[in-house]
Structure 1
Amino acid sequence: MDFTYESYAHWRKEMTEKGGLTLDASYCKDRINALSNDEEASTRSLIRAYGSEHRDQMLRWFEQALSEI
């Protein structure tokens, strides 16, 4: 998977088609909760690797995906 996304549509396609994920309500809510928690180990790792701006963008995209359900 490509971890540099051009847009929400690109990110969604990578997640669902290439990553095989289902962006259902449960998954989106779980990711939103994890990404919103700076104490979560996976969130700290993501921020170290890609920066807080990337995390913030991912959080917005999961929120958008949830709003489309």
Structure 2
Amino acid sequence: MLVLNGIPSTYQEWRHCITVDCNIALTEPFVGERIAILSNAGCEETRRFEQLYGIEHRKAVLGWFRQAQQESTKKMLHS
């Protein structure tokens, strides 16, 4: 796994970083909250994120949270 400057560049790297390195569970409430915040360009937290990592990385991370949400939904449907 190649994480450039500690910043994940793929979904797999990001998921590992969140769930293993940071020990954060990608629960439905957490993922939903992050999607809401990162979708709101006017949110102070979103503006800080963009200042630190750039708009393209924000879009990528938002997509990864959406992917995690879809995977969680599929898993629940098949349980």
Aligned length: 67
Partner residue of 2:33?
A: 30
Shift of 1:7: 1.4
- 1:9-63 CA distances to partner (integer Å, 9 max, x unpaired)? 1110000111111101111110000000011111000101111000000000000
Taking CA–CA contacts closer than 8 Å with sequence separation of 6 or more, which of the two structures ends up with the larger relative contact order? 1
Computing the radius of gyration from Cα coordinates, the structure with the larger value is 2
**Structure 2: gaps (5+ residues):** 1-5, 73-79
CA distance in 2, matches of 1:7, 1:52: 16
How far apart are the structure 1 equivalents of 2:34 and 2:71?
Answer: 16
Structure 1 segments unaligned to the other structure (5+ residues): none
For normalisation by structure 2, the TM-score amounts to 0.80
Aligned-partner SS, 1:68: helix
Give the corresponding residue for 1:61: 64
Q: Which moved more, 1:56-65 or 1:35-44?
A: 35-44
Say which of 39, 43, 49 aligns to 1:40: 43
